[in-house]
Amino acid sequence: MTQDNNYEPPKVWKWDAASGGEWASINRPISGATHEADLQQGKHNLQLHSLGTPNGQKVTIMLEELLEAGVKEAEYDAYLINIGEGAQFSSGFVELNPNSKIPVLYDVEIGQRVFETSSILHYLAEKFGKFLPTDPAKRAEVMNWLFWSHGSAPFVGGGFGHFYFYAPEKIEYAIDRYTMETKRLLDVLDKQLANNKYIAGDEYTIADMGAWPWYGNLVLHNSYEASEFLQVDDYKNVQRWAKEILARPAVQRGRIVNKSGEGNLPERHDASDFDNL
């Protein structure tokens, strides 16, 4: 491997707002609000502020699965947060999530904010008693895989996806490093699914909802235009699992919420909103 980048880190790093590609004007090394703006609030108890990225899809899929299962109390309002315009740094959003990352959920009934996708999935599973086994051993296995996907996603999106697709320049070392890790993670999942219908066993759970938006989209929808590069067709068990989950009506609905463009639903306030697409 050759490497043309002769960059030498300085003794003290200094932020250069002009570097960093298309996100240079948004990203910064400090936290907190950049502007005053209240979040909208709809009629339902559950208020979601998100964007239809893989992380955002986790929660909308969970909410739609709860509704599909007959849990009427899981009705929700979903408002789009345009991270490209820095909406995640509004005072209203930062109040609910100091980390300024989508998604964030607000439970009006008890005045509870919930951020981090795995925390939201777990919160909803506990609140409504769905998609999380009560048997201690099965429950532990679900949590194992839920946090596996939570920890592995940054390698896939923030690592591989960033350097292969989004970075302003192609850095061979970085692409090789994160490609190797992404393929290793796909292999971990493929081997787990060789002997299990779903990630944590025979039951469809929040472990699948946490992993599918990253790995399902990666192998089925040419994420980062990298299907051939990653040879995703080689992961037969992941392919089978991804297609079976995509066939679920709740997944088909959840994956288009808080997304712009034809066939998507930027905001969601009622089940009938899908009928107008």
218 in the same domain as 119: no
pLDDT of residue 20: 64
Residue 81 lies in a domain: yes
C-alpha span between 249 and 84 (Å, rounded) = 29
C-alpha span between 131 and 143 (Å, rounded) = 11
pLDDT tens column, 195-212:
999 999 999 999 999 999
140 in the same domain as 233: yes
Residue 251 lies in a domain: no
pLDDT of residue 5: 64
pLDDT of residue 1: 43
193 in the same domain as 213: yes
Question: What CATH number should be reported for the domain holding residue 100?
Answer: 3.40.30.10
pLDDT of residue 4: 56
Q: How many domains does the chain fold into?
A: 2
**Ranges in the chain, pLDDT < 50:** 1-2
Residue 2 lies in a domain: no
190 in the same domain as 121: no
Stated pTM of the model? 0.95
Residue 17 lies in a domain: no
267 in the same domain as 177: no
**What are the strands of the beta sheet with 112-115, ordered from one edge?**
76-80, 46-50, 104-107, 112-115
236 in the same domain as 160: yes
Asked if 168 contacts 20 with a C-beta cutoff of 8 angstroms, the reply is yes
Residue 181 lies in a domain: yes
Q: Which two tokens stand for residue 176?
A: 């090789």
C-alpha span between 47 and 69 (Å, rounded) = 19
89 in the same domain as 170: no
C-alpha span between 201 and 248 (Å, rounded) = 18
Question: What CATH number should be reported for the domain holding residue 159?
Answer: 1.20.1050.10
192 in the same domain as 169: yes
Q: How far is CA 188 from CA 8, 161, 192, 254, in A?
A: 35, 19, 6, 26
Residue 40 lies in a domain: no
177 in the same domain as 75: no
71 in the same domain as 115: yes
Residue 29 lies in a domain: no
The parent domain of residue 68 ranges over: 46-131+256-276
63 in the same domain as 126: yes
67 in the same domain as 156: no
Residue 65 lies in a domain: yes
pLDDT tens column, 100-146:
999 999 999 999 999 999 999 999 999 999 999 999 999 999 999 99
pLDDT of residue 18: 73
